[in-house]
Amino acid sequence: MSSRLRLVLSALISFVFYFAWTYWANNMVSTDSALVLRSAMVQGTLSATITLMFTFALEKSVQKFGQSSFSLIFVVPIICTVHSKTTQNIAIFKTFNAALNLSAQKASGAAVPGTLLAPLLPLLVQASIAITVNWLNHTPNLWLTVAPSIFFTGVYGYIYTFTLLKERKDSL
């Protein structure tokens, strides 16, 4: 299946699924059928549009980070530096600092593959847009409406990432 066809099919499936889900979720809590239908149209259209944008952003993110690794030896000292300025509770600070120092020693040389990080930025953008648009729309059951969208977008993001990397590996 071509990438363009896969993208259009994903957007269509996203629209149908989230339209039906939102209609069901909001029909349980509201008797205003116009608001329920509008909420379903908003979420269905939003999900289809975000599927298109998310997939595009994910492909760019995988191109940039997919073959990279990020060393934990650099991440832990950054966390320590941020938290070292907190002086409100010395006991908590010392315990946290000791735990981070121990983690830095244990993680020396360890790395996180870029494939684990590639879907996170597009997922954060998608979640923010979905929550904001449904909040502005006054969707009656906001969290039940957007939670599956965020969860399944994350699952889709990782599956799509590994599919892209497998296609690249197979083409080499």
Of residues 170, 134, 166, 164, the one with CA closest to residue 150 = 134
The domains of the chain are located at 1-66+119-172, 68-117
Helix axes 3-27, 142-171, angle to 10 degrees: 160
What b/e string do you get for 129-138 counting C-beta neighbours within 10 Å, with b at 16 or more?
bbbebbeebe
Query: Of 107, 108, 147, which is closest to residue 126 (Cα–Cα)?
Result: 147
At residue 157, the pLDDT reads: 85
- For residue 166, what are its two tokens? 């497998």
| Burial of 153 (C-beta count, 10 Å sphere; 0-12/13-18/19+) | buried
9-13, 14-18, 72-76, 143-147 — which is least confidently predicted? Answer: 72-76
Q: Is the pLDDT of residue 165 over 80?
A: no
- In this predicted structure, what is the pLDDT of residue 37? 94
Check pLDDT > 90 for residue 15. yes
**What is the predicted pLDDT for the residue at 50?**
86
Q: What is the pLDDT of residues 41-76, one digit of tens each?
A: 998 998 899 888 888 888 777 777 666 655 554 454
> With a threshold of 0.75, does the pTM exceed it?
no
Look up residue 34 and give its two tokens.
């116009």
Of 41-55, 64-78, 89-103, 150-164, which gets the smallest average pLDDT? 64-78
Position 107 pLDDT exceeds 70: no
**Rounded to an integer, what distance in angstroms lies between the CA atom of residue 76 and that of residue 42?**
41
Residue 95 has pLDDT above 60, yes or no: yes
Report pLDDT for 159: 87
